[in-house]
A and B are shown apart, each in its own frame.
Chain A
Amino acid sequence: MNDAAPPLLDVDGLALSLARFDGTARILNGVDLVVFPGERVALVGESGCGKTLTARMIMGLFDERGASVEGRIRFDDDDLLALDARGWDRLRGRRLTMIFQDPVAALNPVFTIADQLATVILRGGQAHTRVEARDLARPALAAVAIADPDRVLDSYPFQLSGGLNQRVLIAMALVNRPALVLADEPGTALDVTVQAQTLALMHNLTDASGAAVLLITHNLGVVRNFAQRVYVMYAGSIVEEAPVAELFAAPRHPYTQALFAAVPRLTGEGLPVGIEGGVPDYRVPPPGCRFHPRCPHARPQCHQPPPVIEVAPGHKVACVLFGEKRDG
């Protein structure tokens, strides 16, 4: 990436606590993440680590009461945590779009694809009537390899397969030529072939349009061919970030290493090794590094917030182990 260009999206120290009836859950614990224009970035972590929450915060969809938020989210020149309705109107569906996990649930069951897609296209400003919008919808659907756009346009979501709905969502996300697409586990509700198709389509289309993508996934396997850079998240914080090749060649954080050990391999010997334990209780998170109760290298210093060490260019690890090496 051209580091001279300012990032498109800059999430800085994002923290989120939620007051719930059973106590305050401190879920996001200082998330730092940037996406440069045109870049494909993956955010990886196990279920419940706060990936969706991060995406919803970026999209401004998280407006729960009893939430206290710290940090900053900057997109272009806008401060998203302080954006007013007009600001959101300028961004949502235009500069910033989102692909949801379950395509069938994400489309309104009682309106046709044409209706929903047209509402999105009209927001893009390239069409002024629904008829014009439909004319733009056809090529948009053709671009996601839909052979008969008109039939799909006149269908209701329940009349289409999951894969077709997924492609409609991709078309919707890209039709207004956004600068950034958030993709929260696209297609994981569907079978693996559809999931692979989805990612291939998104890869090619965003490559062509120059849109940046933040791909959220718990599957390290899909990251390698898709993303240029990867963030690994554990229990509400980023524990490691690296260019994709670097991460696959030399994962550093004990959690990342455990994630790799848990990936099933065709050539591997024996079964994948699962990670002992689970995501901590967010009401009483472990002090310091949240991974230390599950970490084989844990030591007393882990009770302090871990230092973030750049172990190679663009490769940062939030772990005390690497701090020690530097110092010693």
Chain B
Amino acid sequence: MIKYLLRRLAASIVVLIGVSVLIFLIARVIPGDPARIALGPMASEEQVAQLRAALFLDRPLIAQYVEFARNLLRGDLGVSLYTNRTVTTDLRQFLPATAELVAAASLLMVVIGIPLGVLAGHFRDRWPDHAARLAALLGIVAPSFVWAIILVLVFSYWLDLTPVIGRLSDSIVRPPVTTGFVTVDSLIAGDWAAFKDASWHLVLPAVALSLSGAGQAARLTRANLGETYGRDYIDLARAYGFAGRTIAWKYALRPAMIPTLTILGLDFAAKLGNAFLVEAVFAWPGMARYGVNAILNKDLNAIVGTVLVIGFGFVVINLVIDLFVAYLDPRIRYRAAV
């Protein structure tokens, strides 16, 4: 198990290095001169040249990357040309909101999607299956931002149940920051009013972001469960009179979860991208606006920082999923140990 973990970790680091190179290159080949953009059309050629030199933009690409990597290792992502603050400061401000949204949506995706899939798989071709499949399909057909708009219209405007904007009402004092997740922070502070308010703000964007993944999770679970139900070991479980519940939730679900989770890993990661659009709808103070501004302004360091964070999230999520799959599947655990 330890060996397996180390191997996955090493692979993740290689992926991260690859990601950093790729991002670095892409950011440099976008047309337009970042120094000129940063200084505006009124700046003199001399000033622009000075800034280019300060940013190492006048050096060969390799030298630029070495400089970039060295800074990266020290946790220095440079200064945003647009906000004039270090990129790490910016990320520290905007990232937790996005992370909270994505974490909540991922949780919902699992909590909604997998039971729905088990229901469908267990009652295959009967009415609970048809209902669950329809629900799953609805979740998938509309992109998250469309769901976001629909949910706002229904729950905020028509029913007037939920807030429309931000993470917390103005009347609520934000609890001290420990994790950066307002819901968790308010729980730690024991501030129920803040927790309720934060959850109330979080629920719509999280649901909007979770629906397509939940639909996908339900379909995958159903398909893999269906495949598992055809196996001899499920026939054996039935022949020995194991309870239907025990078969569905234990003896069939566990083998079925192995391929399901592996594929779902990609959905978790896709959430990071979709979150941007959902954030835009709910004016969620996360990475969305920061990232978009970075691109529009050709703010190199900010672009690189943003994409690097997404790449990092992707790698971490997949690592966690790999570990969970290994926990579920003894064949991976023991083969890796040999």
A, B assembled together: yes
Interface residues of chain A, those whose CB is within 8 Å of chain B, are: 59, 61, 65, 88-89, 91-94, 97-98, 100, 102, 105-111, 119-120, 123, 156, 158-159, 172
Subset of 13 A-B contacts with CB under 8 Å:
A61-B238, A61-B239, A88-B241, A89-B241, A92-B238, A92-B240, A93-B240, A108-B237, A110-B254, A110-B328, A110-B329, A119-B246, A158-B330
Q: Which chain B residues border A100 with CB–CB below 8 Å?
A: 232, 235-236
Query: Is A102 a contact of B232 with CB atoms below 8 Å?
Result: yes
- Encode B216-242 as 1/0 by CB contact (under 8 A) with A: 000000000000000111011111111
CB of A253 to closest CB in B, whole Å: 31
Q: Which chain A residues border B240 with CB–CB below 8 Å?
A: 92-93, 97-98, 119-120, 123, 172
| B interface: dominant SS | helix
CB of B123 to closest CB in A, whole Å: 13
Chain B residues within 8 Å of chain A by Cβ, number? 22
B255: CB under 8 A from chain A?
yes
What residue of chain B has the Cβ atom nearest to residue A169's Cβ? Answer: B236
- Which of A102, A110, A123 is packed against the most chain B CB atoms within 10 Å? A110
Q: A110-B255, A119-B242 are in contact. Are A105 and B331 (CB under 8 A)?
A: no
Query: Is A105 a contact of B330 with CB atoms below 8 Å?
Result: no
Q: Which chain A residues border B241 with CB–CB below 8 Å?
A: 88-89, 91-94, 123
Q: Which chain B residues border A172 with CB–CB below 8 Å?
A: 240
Query: Is B239 a contact of A156 with CB atoms below 8 Å?
Result: no
Q: Which chain A residues border B200 with CB–CB below 8 Å?
A: none
- Besides A94-B241, A110-B258, 7 more A-B contacts (Cβ < 8 Å) are A65-B125, A91-B241, A98-B239, A105-B231, A108-B255, A110-B329, A158-B334
- Encode B297-338 as 1/0 by CB contact (under 8 A) with A: 000000000000000000000000000000011110010000
Q: Which chain A residues border B231 with CB–CB below 8 Å?
A: 105
Report the Cα distance A175→B329, complex, angstroms.
28
B65: CB under 8 A from chain A?
no
Report the Cα distance A111→B242, complex, angstroms.
14
Q: Which chain B residues border A91 with CB–CB below 8 Å?
A: 241
Q: Which chain B residues border A159 with CB–CB below 8 Å?
A: 334
Report the Cα distance A119→B246, complex, angstroms.
10
